[in-house]
A = this chain, B = another copy of it.
Protein backbone atom coordinates (compact mmCIF):
# COMPACT_ATOMS: atom_id res chain seq x y z
CA UNK A 1 0.00 0.00 0.00
CA UNK A 2 1.20 3.45 -0.85
CA UNK A 3 -0.30 5.49 1.96
CA UNK A 4 -2.76 3.51 4.07
CA UNK A 5 -4.32 6.55 5.74
CA UNK A 6 -5.49 9.93 4.62
CA UNK A 7 -6.69 8.70 1.21
CA UNK A 8 -10.13 7.89 2.61
CA UNK A 9 -12.39 9.77 4.99
CA UNK A 10 -10.27 12.34 6.90
CA UNK A 11 -12.92 12.32 9.65
CA UNK A 12 -12.54 10.98 13.17
CA UNK A 13 -9.14 10.74 14.82
CA UNK A 14 -7.07 9.93 11.77
CA UNK A 15 -4.35 7.38 12.54
CA UNK A 16 -1.18 9.29 11.81
CA UNK A 17 1.23 7.69 9.35
CA UNK A 18 4.87 7.16 10.14
CA UNK A 19 6.07 9.90 7.82
CA UNK A 20 3.70 12.40 9.39
CA UNK A 21 4.74 11.40 12.91
CA UNK A 22 8.39 11.93 11.99
CA UNK A 23 7.73 15.40 10.56
CA UNK A 24 5.68 16.47 13.58
CA UNK A 25 8.27 15.24 16.06
CA UNK A 26 11.05 16.93 14.12
CA UNK A 27 9.15 20.20 14.01
CA UNK A 28 8.57 20.25 17.74
CA UNK A 29 12.14 19.25 18.57
CA UNK A 30 13.66 21.82 16.21
CA UNK A 31 11.44 24.47 17.75
CA UNK A 32 12.67 23.65 21.24
CA UNK A 33 16.28 22.60 20.72
CA UNK A 34 17.32 23.96 17.35
CA UNK A 35 18.99 22.14 14.49
CA UNK A 36 22.32 21.09 15.96
CA UNK A 37 20.76 20.30 19.32
CA UNK A 38 18.39 17.77 17.82
CA UNK A 39 19.63 14.31 16.87
CA UNK A 40 18.16 11.97 14.28
CA UNK A 41 18.00 9.20 16.84
CA UNK A 42 16.11 11.40 19.25
CA UNK A 43 13.67 12.21 16.48
CA UNK A 44 13.09 8.56 15.63
CA UNK A 45 12.60 7.77 19.32
CA UNK A 46 10.16 10.64 19.84
CA UNK A 47 8.24 9.82 16.67
CA UNK A 48 8.07 6.15 17.60
CA UNK A 49 9.69 5.28 14.31
CA UNK A 50 12.97 3.55 13.62
CA UNK A 51 16.09 4.99 12.11
CA UNK A 52 15.41 2.90 9.02
CA UNK A 53 12.03 4.55 8.56
CA UNK A 54 13.49 8.02 8.92
CA UNK A 55 16.07 7.46 6.21
CA UNK A 56 13.51 5.65 4.08
CA UNK A 57 11.24 8.71 3.96
CA UNK A 58 14.03 11.28 4.01
CA UNK A 59 16.98 9.89 2.07
CA UNK A 60 18.43 13.39 2.06
CA UNK A 61 19.11 12.98 5.77
CA UNK A 62 18.86 15.55 8.50
CA UNK A 63 18.80 18.55 6.21
CA UNK A 64 15.93 17.31 4.08
CA UNK A 65 14.04 16.30 7.19
CA UNK A 66 14.56 19.71 8.77
CA UNK A 67 13.40 21.49 5.62
CA UNK A 68 10.20 19.46 5.65
CA UNK A 69 9.71 20.23 9.35
CA UNK A 70 10.13 23.95 8.61
CA UNK A 71 7.38 23.70 6.02
CA UNK A 72 5.22 22.03 8.66
CA UNK A 73 5.91 24.87 11.11
CA UNK A 74 5.23 27.36 8.34
CA UNK A 75 1.68 26.08 7.87
CA UNK A 76 1.14 25.77 11.62
CA UNK A 77 1.97 29.44 12.19
CA UNK A 78 0.00 30.47 9.11
CA UNK A 79 -3.12 28.86 10.55
CA UNK A 80 -2.75 30.85 13.76
CA UNK A 81 -2.08 34.02 11.81
CA UNK A 82 -5.18 33.59 9.65
CA UNK A 83 -7.32 32.82 12.69
CA UNK A 84 -6.08 35.84 14.61
CA UNK A 85 -6.21 38.31 11.75
CA UNK A 86 -9.67 37.16 10.72
CA UNK A 87 -11.04 37.61 14.22
CA UNK A 88 -12.01 41.25 13.87
CA UNK A 89 -12.89 43.81 11.25
CA UNK A 90 -10.57 46.25 13.00
CA UNK A 91 -7.07 45.28 11.89
CA UNK A 92 -5.52 46.71 15.06
CA UNK A 93 -7.75 44.59 17.25
CA UNK A 94 -6.99 41.60 15.06
CA UNK A 95 -3.25 42.00 15.58
CA UNK A 96 -3.78 42.30 19.31
CA UNK A 97 -5.73 39.05 19.15
CA UNK A 98 -2.76 37.42 17.41
CA UNK A 99 -0.32 38.47 20.12
CA UNK A 100 -2.78 37.28 22.75
CA UNK A 101 -2.99 33.86 21.12
CA UNK A 102 0.77 33.60 20.85
CA UNK A 103 1.18 34.64 24.47
CA UNK A 104 -1.34 32.08 25.67
CA UNK A 105 0.26 29.23 23.73
CA UNK A 106 3.72 30.25 24.88
CA UNK A 107 2.70 30.26 28.52
CA UNK A 108 0.87 26.96 28.11
CA UNK A 109 4.09 25.32 26.92
CA UNK A 110 6.01 26.74 29.88
CA UNK A 111 7.73 29.22 27.55
CA UNK A 112 9.19 26.43 25.43
CA UNK A 113 7.32 26.63 22.15
CA UNK A 114 8.13 29.93 20.52
CA UNK A 115 8.32 30.47 16.79
CA UNK A 116 8.58 27.01 15.21
CA UNK A 117 11.35 27.97 12.84
CA UNK A 118 13.41 30.89 14.18
CA UNK A 119 15.86 28.79 16.16
CA UNK A 120 16.69 26.55 13.23
CA UNK A 121 16.69 29.53 10.88
CA UNK A 122 19.29 31.40 12.91
CA UNK A 123 21.80 28.59 13.26
CA UNK A 124 21.69 27.52 9.64
CA UNK A 125 22.10 30.95 8.05
CA UNK A 126 24.43 30.58 5.10
CA UNK A 127 25.19 26.89 5.56
CA UNK A 128 22.16 24.74 4.73
CA UNK A 129 20.56 25.89 1.48
CA UNK A 130 17.53 23.58 1.64
CA UNK A 131 16.64 24.86 5.08
CA UNK A 132 17.30 28.49 4.24
CA UNK A 133 14.99 28.23 1.28
CA UNK A 134 12.18 26.71 3.36
CA UNK A 135 12.63 29.44 5.97
CA UNK A 136 12.52 32.21 3.37
CA UNK A 137 9.36 30.68 1.89
CA UNK A 138 7.73 30.60 5.33
CA UNK A 139 8.45 34.28 5.96
CA UNK A 140 7.16 35.18 2.52
CA UNK A 141 4.01 33.17 3.18
CA UNK A 142 3.34 34.92 6.48
CA UNK A 143 4.01 38.34 4.97
CA UNK A 144 1.55 37.59 2.19
CA UNK A 145 -1.15 36.63 4.69
CA UNK A 146 -0.66 39.82 6.69
CA UNK A 147 -0.49 41.96 3.55
CA UNK A 148 -3.81 40.57 2.42
CA UNK A 149 -5.52 41.51 5.66
CA UNK A 150 -3.95 44.97 5.71
CA UNK A 151 -5.14 45.68 2.18
CA UNK A 152 -8.60 44.40 3.12
CA UNK A 153 -8.52 46.89 5.99
CA UNK A 154 -8.05 49.72 3.53
CA UNK A 155 -4.30 50.25 3.66
CA UNK A 156 -2.57 51.07 0.38
CA UNK A 157 -0.77 48.24 -1.38
CA UNK A 158 2.80 49.50 -0.90
CA UNK A 159 2.25 50.57 2.71
CA UNK A 160 0.63 47.21 3.38
CA UNK A 161 3.57 45.32 1.93
CA UNK A 162 6.06 47.19 4.09
CA UNK A 163 3.91 46.99 7.20
CA UNK A 164 3.39 43.26 6.76
CA UNK A 165 7.13 42.68 6.92
CA UNK A 166 7.38 44.73 10.08
CA UNK A 167 4.41 43.00 11.68
CA UNK A 168 5.85 39.54 11.05
CA UNK A 169 9.37 40.32 12.18
CA UNK A 170 8.06 42.21 15.20
CA UNK A 171 5.99 39.20 16.24
CA UNK A 172 9.17 37.11 15.96
CA UNK A 173 11.12 39.49 18.12
CA UNK A 174 8.37 39.79 20.70
CA UNK A 175 8.05 36.04 20.95
CA UNK A 176 11.78 35.75 21.58
CA UNK A 177 11.59 38.46 24.25
CA UNK A 178 8.61 36.76 25.90
CA UNK A 179 10.46 33.43 26.02
CA UNK A 180 13.49 35.01 27.59
CA UNK A 181 11.51 37.02 30.12
CA UNK A 182 9.14 34.12 30.75
CA UNK A 183 6.34 36.64 30.56
CA UNK A 184 3.40 37.42 28.31
CA UNK A 185 4.10 41.12 28.61
CA UNK A 186 6.47 41.63 25.65
CA UNK A 187 3.93 40.05 23.31
CA UNK A 188 0.93 41.92 24.69
CA UNK A 189 2.68 45.27 24.75
CA UNK A 190 3.97 44.75 21.24
CA UNK A 191 0.44 44.00 20.09
CA UNK A 192 -0.71 47.30 21.52
CA UNK A 193 2.11 49.19 19.82
CA UNK A 194 1.51 47.50 16.46
CA UNK A 195 -2.18 48.43 16.63
CA UNK A 196 -1.18 52.02 17.37
CA UNK A 197 1.19 52.06 14.41
CA UNK A 198 -1.46 50.64 12.09
CA UNK A 199 -3.94 53.25 13.27
CA UNK A 200 -1.72 55.95 11.78
CA UNK A 201 -2.42 54.52 8.30
CA UNK A 202 -5.92 55.34 7.02
| Nearest residue, chain B, Cβ from A126 | B112
State the oligomeric state as a number of copies: 2
A118: which B residues are within 8 A, CB to CB? 122, 176
Cβ of A123 under 8 Å from chain B:
yes
Residue from B34, B37, B135, B170 within 8 A of A170 (CB atoms):
B170
Contact A166 B190 (CB under 8 A): yes
Cβ of A8 under 8 Å from chain B:
no
| Nearest residue, chain B, Cβ from A173 | B173
Cβ of A36 under 8 Å from chain B:
yes
How far, in whole Å, are A114 and B172 apart by their CA atoms in the complex? 14
| Nearest residue, chain B, Cβ from A109 | B126
Contact B33 A180 (CB under 8 A): no
Cβ of A168 under 8 Å from chain B:
yes
Contact B114 A125 (CB under 8 A): yes
Contact A165 B185 (CB under 8 A): yes
Distance of A152 from chain B, by nearest CB (Å): 20
The secondary structure that dominates the A interface is helix
A179: which B residues are within 8 A, CB to CB? 121-122, 125
Contact A181 B139 (CB under 8 A): yes
How far, in whole Å, are A172 and B186 apart by their CA atoms in the complex? 13
Distance of A195 from chain B, by nearest CB (Å): 10
- Residue from A111, A114, A181 having most chain B Cβ neighbours under 10 A: A181
Distance of A174 from chain B, by nearest CB (Å): 5
Residue from B123, B186, B196 within 8 A of A123 (CB atoms):
B123
**Can you list 23 contacts pairing A with B, beta carbon distance less than 8 Å?**
A33-B36, A34-B34, A34-B123, A35-B37, A114-B122, A118-B122, A121-B176, A122-B122, A122-B176, A122-B179, A125-B180, A132-B180, A139-B177, A139-B180, A163-B193, A165-B177, A165-B186, A165-B190, A166-B186, A166-B189, A166-B190, A172-B177, A197-B200
